[in-house]
Structure 1
Amino acid sequence: MTSSEINEFFKNQTVFLLGGTGFLGKFLIDKLLRLNEISKIYILVRPKKGKSVDERFCDLFDFPCFERLKKENPGFRKKIVFVSGDCEQPNLGISQETEDVLIAETSIVIHAAANVKFDQPLRIATYINVRSTQDCIHLAKKMPNLKAFIYVSTAYSNFPYFDIDETLYEPAMRSKNLLSVVDSLDDETLNKVTPGLLGKWPNAYVFTKTIAENLMKSEENNLPIAIVRPAIVMSAAEEPMPGWVDNFNGVTGVTTAVSVGVIRSFCCQKNATAHLVPCDYVCNIILASAWHVGQQKSSTLTIYNFIGSNTNAVSWQKFKDLFEICIKNYPTTKSMWYYGLAVTHYKFYHDLKTFLFHTVLCSLVDFILLCGGKKPVVVQNMRRFDYAINLMTSFTTSSFNFKHDNVDNLWKQMNDQDKNLYRFDMSTFDWRTYIRSYVIGARVYLLKDPLETIPEGHKKVQFLAVAYYFTMGVLFCLIYFFIKFVLKLVL
């Protein structure tokens, strides 16, 4: 059997990982430690008061995704070193002593740290996405043994464009100019001028990502670097366990709220491609790109648009259809209301549905709670969900055309063993099976509802269906008599 070239590349290497405590970072740690005989992984971790190194270690490796690692490589702990630091601080918040160690030992840098919240303030986005990248570049340039520097960006970093190639685009600002503005203004003033600075970019996250990408351009002749641009990162497809997810961010948060009957309207282009990619596939292309950079003799910057496959894509409508089938087969006991989701790209229709089924209906529930002597919180919580949906609308109502030639070429250059171990080709991806594991994963890992409760979930959904249609009947009757009363007054 052909040996793995990627495994051979990582053998005895020392990796410095930024973002190791995040969703993607956990996958990278697991994969590196399970398959590779690496020497060490330095993980940048924020210092926490009252937490020892052992406690922080337990916090990170207590997630279910590491259970397989613990069985297959029980001695992995000796290869993990926590580095006290913070991407929001200058020079990554690390000490001079730590910096000296990293410079002497590191051979591979993976910068996967990011605050992916779409409503984050510009100051935080700038420090995490721009300044930390700049500081990491300066650190990497001092590393004599550096073989690869991988920066994880986003496919939407160049949002104003809808035809996006695997190349760098002109940013709205240069990094030094943005940092100068951010450092010179107080929070109140910066928040006021942020909309003008963002321009066509919908939020500070993608705005700062494109500026961070541009930092790489000036260093392509000095560092062995590559940029990986994943699209919408979802739960695992295969490793370390199908469907595993640890957060409610983005699409996952919305679909989980849909599955329990909370969200009933979603604004998107039905026929537009939903560029969804499983997190383990993102991890695999990051590691494969590091191998490829390390093998290249040239220092040309390579960009990988990892958005799935244009020949095997799934539309938002198709995703909804498959999702509906799965949540009906695996209903959760955590359901709060009967499922009913409408998708549309017409903002008026979406706003109307939101008003009727989110605002009016939730207000009715709050009224019942108030009458029962309880605190009315449903409308307040519903507003948070509506806010989250609105933050995503710019992406879900747009149709993007991504090129991914570099991704395809990378796949072709891998041998059969690496294609098996580091799978990321989605040209034959089974969306039906994946969405099934996605729904089950959200049910088990996010809602903490084991599959053994499925019969109980069916019973609860049946009860909620009766309650839903009864409530809708009463509501429409009230609307009918209200309109009739108004017309009588007018006429």
Structure 2
Amino acid sequence: MNIETMTSSEINEFFKNQTVFLLGGTGFLGKIVIEKLLRLDQIAKIYILVRPKKGKSVDERFCELFNFPCFERLKNKNPQFGKKIALVSGDCEQPNLGISQETEDVLIAETSIVIHAAANVKFDQPLRTATYINVRSTQDCIHLAKKMPNLKAFIYVSTAYSNCPYFDIDETFYEPAMTPKNLLSVVDSLDDKTLDKVTPGLMGKWPNSYVFTKTIAEDLIKSEEKNLPIAIVRPAVIMSSVKEPMPGWIDSFYGITGVTVAIALGVVRSLYCQKNATVHLVPCDYVCNIILASAWHVGQQKSRTLTIYNYVGSNTNAVTWQKYNDLIERCAWDYPTTKAVWYYGFAFTDNKFYHDLQTFLFHTVVFSLVDFILQCMGKKPIAVQNIKRLDLALNLVTYFTINSFSFKHDNVDKLWKQMNDQDKNLYSFDMSTLDWSSYIRSFVIGGRVYLLKDPLETIPEGHKKVQFLAVAYYFTMGVLICLIYFFIKFVLKLVL
């Protein structure tokens, strides 16, 4: 079955002749939403907010946006899809979304569905940047939406970890560390240096500026519950696609994906986590489907009741960190990349001492040795600098790997039950029957092909490189053991 030919889909019917204003359309999830919407023959138009770039025309920006493999299926089936796209020059980091009055008037007159999926997901971003993109843009988008006479649904895409200090997270609102008004006032009144100093105190229990500002943005949404047809979708860790637009599609290095790629390259040797805790992974196309399904559900409601959807997977078909490690390892030897820099060897561990020892030996010591070799060859030493940057990134995700989170998702289950069979087929997001082994395999392949740009045809070369790196690895380990032995012997001689 395909979307274009289905006539009994209630969700398809909802989107018939609708105009969508999408924020975050140039991001990983945004591309999937665009691709799916454009395969709905009924959709009238999609306005996509894009940052202006000097020296690039609208046509060049259009080609830049749609020059990704995820759009190939769409281009083949509907070469005229561009007629339903309008790029809106704007910037979520700027006041009023950085859009002109003329553009605002057009959006107000034509938009019937707003999907706010824009966010800066970097954990180490400055609080000012996070506040402007994640909080002020939401405020400005709400103000714009309230002027839209034809608005049927406003979907705000948050994160399942917006209220992570609570660990047991329900589909409800939680008290933020401060109000949106107070945060914006503080950010606007302080210079960068002062703001950086007070940021830890402002965030309190929240581990980073991303989740901190997302929970405050949710508080903005809460205040408009009676004024807008609105819902919040909170996805967990977004991974590659299950099947749409193709299996394994991914173009983002963030989160566990970046860690997994670093593992495949042989760089990361250890991750500190609760091995038996559930890791809440969700496919990007399933996230897209629940966003569109939630818009349909909001549009069907006669009374305005704000619903929150914790989209975190299935309790009956969950995967732990240890199981994820086992599944990744099964695939690692089948699809070795030619871009590997070191021999594969990795383990999730809940032993902090073992993790620190692994990090010291295989990151600090080994990469210092690499820099020494580079210097001897007359080249610039960059290994230690890069591994420090990676270690910092790993430390930023440690909060989420060492803690165990439990989510309620009753609203997600109810939404699924309310969908008819056609919509369940076209807009699937039920993970209770997901084959994790098959899915992780497609994720590994997708990471190799789409992120590392390493086609499957190079697998034989990858195997050869693994063999070479294995020899280098065991030789290096032998040298390290000898050095440690003689160092200990030398120390004992001094002491005794």
TM-score w.r.t. length of structure 1: 0.99
Aligned to 1:43: 48
**Alpha-carbon separation, structure 2, partners of 1:131 and 1:346:** 41
The secondary structure found in structure 1 opposite 2:374 is helix
- Pick one of 80, 100, 111 that aligns with 1:95: 100
The Cα offsets for residues 71-105 of structure 1, whole Å up to 9 and x where unpaired, read as: 11111100000111110111111111111111110
**Alpha-carbon separation, structure 1, partners of 2:252 and 2:238:** 11
Letter in 2 for 1:366: D
1:287 and 2:292 aligned: yes
**Alpha-carbon separation, structure 2, partners of 1:327 and 1:248:** 18
**Alpha-carbon separation, structure 2, partners of 1:17 and 1:31:** 13
The answer (yes or no) to whether the contact 1:2–1:417 under 8 Å persists in 2 is no
The answer (yes or no) to whether the contact 1:10–1:36 under 8 Å persists in 2 is no
Structure 2 unaligned spans of 5+: 1-5
**Alpha-carbon separation, structure 1, partners of 2:422 and 2:473:** 53
Letter in 2 for 1:306: Y
Letter in 1 for 2:370: V
- Pick one of 395, 420, 430 that aligns with 2:400: 395
- Pick one of 126, 131, 141 that aligns with 1:126: 131
Residue 345 of structure 1 deviates from its aligned partner by 2.4
Residue 36 of structure 1 deviates from its aligned partner by 4.2
Aligned to 1:444: 449
**Alpha-carbon separation, structure 2, partners of 1:473 and 1:237:** 43
The secondary structure found in structure 2 opposite 1:266 is strand
1:216 and 2:221 aligned: yes
Aligned to 1:73: 78
Letter in 2 for 1:384: R
**Alpha-carbon separation, structure 2, partners of 1:257 and 1:94:** 38
The answer (yes or no) to whether the contact 1:17–1:112 under 8 Å persists in 2 is yes
Residue 2 of structure 1 deviates from its aligned partner by 7.0
The answer (yes or no) to whether the contact 1:326–1:439 under 8 Å persists in 2 is yes
Residue 327 of structure 1 deviates from its aligned partner by 1.1
- Pick one of 158, 183, 202 that aligns with 2:207: 202
The answer (yes or no) to whether the contact 1:2–1:416 under 8 Å persists in 2 is no
Deviation larger for 436-445 or 469-478: 469-478
Aligned to 1:314: 319
The Cα offsets for residues 449-472 of structure 1, whole Å up to 9 and x where unpaired, read as: 111111111111112112111211
The answer (yes or no) to whether the contact 1:323–1:439 under 8 Å persists in 2 is yes
Aligned to 1:326: 331
1:142 and 2:141 aligned: no
The answer (yes or no) to whether the contact 1:367–1:376 under 8 Å persists in 2 is yes
**Alpha-carbon separation, structure 2, partners of 1:35 and 1:146:** 19
The Cα offsets for residues 36-79 of structure 1, whole Å up to 9 and x where unpaired, read as: 42000000111110000000000000000000010111111000
Paired residue total: 491
Same amino acid, percent of matched pairs:
83
TM-score w.r.t. length of structure 2: 0.98
Structure 1 unaligned spans of 5+: none
Deviation larger for 460-469 or 150-159: 460-469
**Pairwise CA RMSD:** 0.9
What pairs with 1:155-170 in structure 2 (closer than 5 Å)? Answer: 155-170=160-175
The Cα offsets for residues 306-331 of structure 1, whole Å up to 9 and x where unpaired, read as: 00111100001000000011011111
Aligned to 1:464: 469
Residue 247 of structure 1 deviates from its aligned partner by 2.0
**Alpha-carbon separation, structure 2, partners of 1:8 and 1:178:** 41
Aligned to 2:482: 477
**Alpha-carbon separation, structure 1, partners of 2:202 and 2:351:** 28
1:242 and 2:247 aligned: yes
Deviation larger for 340-349 or 70-79: 340-349
The secondary structure found in structure 1 opposite 2:460 is helix
The Cα offsets for residues 328-369 of structure 1, whole Å up to 9 and x where unpaired, read as: 111111111110112212333222211110010000011011
The secondary structure found in structure 1 opposite 2:470 is helix
The Cα offsets for residues 196-243 of structure 1, whole Å up to 9 and x where unpaired, read as: 001110001000100100111111111100000000011111100111
